[in-house]
Amino acid sequence: MAALWFEEFKPGLVIEHAPRRTVTEADNMWFCNATLNPQPLHIDFHAAAKSEFGRPIVNSIFTLGLMIGMGVQETTLGTTVGNLGMTDVLFPRPVFHGDTIHARTTVIEARESKSRPTNGIVTLLHEAFNQDDLLVASCKRTALMHRRPVA
């Protein structure tokens, strides 16, 4: 299944991604353990209770991955060569166990590759929101994309 080919990425295109995902304590604990991140704000309920948040917060890198992953099927599944980079990563609000996340992608730029004539470069703005439609994460992602195959 293919998502968008390079030629289909038009600046200004906004895609509201259908998947929604409730983040669980198990998600957060697994991710912290898998990435060797022992931050007490994520894994120590007693320490987190004493923080300004009053409870554990979800690892922001999990939130970043979830936000980007939610849009893969509609943007880059089967049509990307790979990511070139991510910039302007922001987490304006924490994500907590039990929050339900949804995402949106906006095409910022699409340009031809100067060195790879069969590819193009797109810049996407990914945004994630909680169940109250409050922004919890955003980033710009640049990807090297395949052009539509010639028939």
Please give the Cα distance from 110 to 96 (Å, whole number): 35
Structure confidence at residue 1 as a pLDDT band (50, 70, 90): low
Helix, strand, coil in percent for the chain, rounding step 5: 25, 35, 40
pTM: 0.94
Buried b (16+ CB within 10 A) or exposed e, 28-53: beebbeeeeeeeebbbeeeebeeeee
User: Span 69-79, mean pLDDT?
Assistant: 94
For residue 51, is pLDDT > 60?
yes
Please tell me the CATH code under which domain 6-146 is placed: 3.10.129.10
